Each structure stands twice: as structure tokens, then as C-alpha cells.
Copies of this chain bind each other. A is one copy, B any other.
Amino acid sequence: MLLDPSADDRLDRAFMALADPVRRGIIARLSRGPATVNELAEPFQITKQAVSKHIQVLEQAGLVTRTRDAQRRPVHLAPAQLEALTAWIDRFRLIHEQQFRSLDALLATTSGTDAAPAEAGATADPARKAERS
């Protein structure tokens, strides 16, 4: 089960875990501090068992951790995985932004007449020849 989850696998679980409004609500609540299953279940119209399953999903995704406190199992936010997600997204967001800028510069130097209406790169794309990575 938890032997060696690849980086892809970890991202899969984390993104999937956030692709549900209940689980995002749980994350939002936990950002204010730890909470028990019952407390987390209260805002939603589903059974406690369903919430427990959601928490399991979040835990397997590395987004929360559970501790012990008598009968209670307080759930805590684990921000490290959230950081990993923003890191992944921002990586490609920034690459794209840079590509866009350099393409923009290229168009500015070659065409000279008009700067092309925002729909850049549809056919004349300098990055297209790179393949078979």
C-alpha cells in the first residue's frame, strides 16, 4: 500500500483529494486549527462514516495527519504537501509565461508592422520542433 509511492502517485492522490468540495471544506476548516471527525462532519449533510472516508483520502494524500487524544482522533493539516502542489503548478505556469514572453519578443523583432492580436503561437511556434524527449 504505502511502500514507495512515486512522485506521480503522490501528486495523483493530492490533486484528487482536493477535487471534492467536502474535502476542500475540511482543509479550509483545518487551516484554522485541528479538529475531530465529529466537528468536521457537522457542516455537511453526510454521515460521519463518509467524512471518515474523506479524511482517510486526505491522509493517504499526505495532506493531513491524525493523532490520538483519549477517544478522539484530532486531525491536523500537513502543509508540506500543499507546498508540493503549488510548486508543481507554478513550475509550468512560469515556464509558460517565459515562453510567451520570448515569443512575444520574437514577433516584435520579425514582423515590425503589427504586434499580432494576442493569439500568439498557433501556427508559428518555435517550440514545436522539439519532440521525442
Please list the residues of chain A having a beta carbon within 8 angstroms of any beta carbon in chain B: 8, 11-13, 15-16, 18-21, 24, 27-28, 30-36, 39, 42-43, 67, 69-70, 74, 76-77, 79, 82-83, 85-86, 88-93, 95-97, 99, 103, 119, 121-123, 125-128, 130-133
State the number of copies, please. 2
Residues of B within 8 A of A97 (CB): 79
A122, B69: Cβ atoms closer than 8 Å: yes
Q: Which residue of B lies closest to A18 (CB)?
A: B15
15 contacts between A and B (CB under 8 A): A12-B19, A15-B15, A28-B92, A32-B95, A32-B127, A34-B128, A35-B128, A36-B130, A39-B128, A42-B131, A70-B132, A76-B122, A79-B97, A83-B93, A86-B93
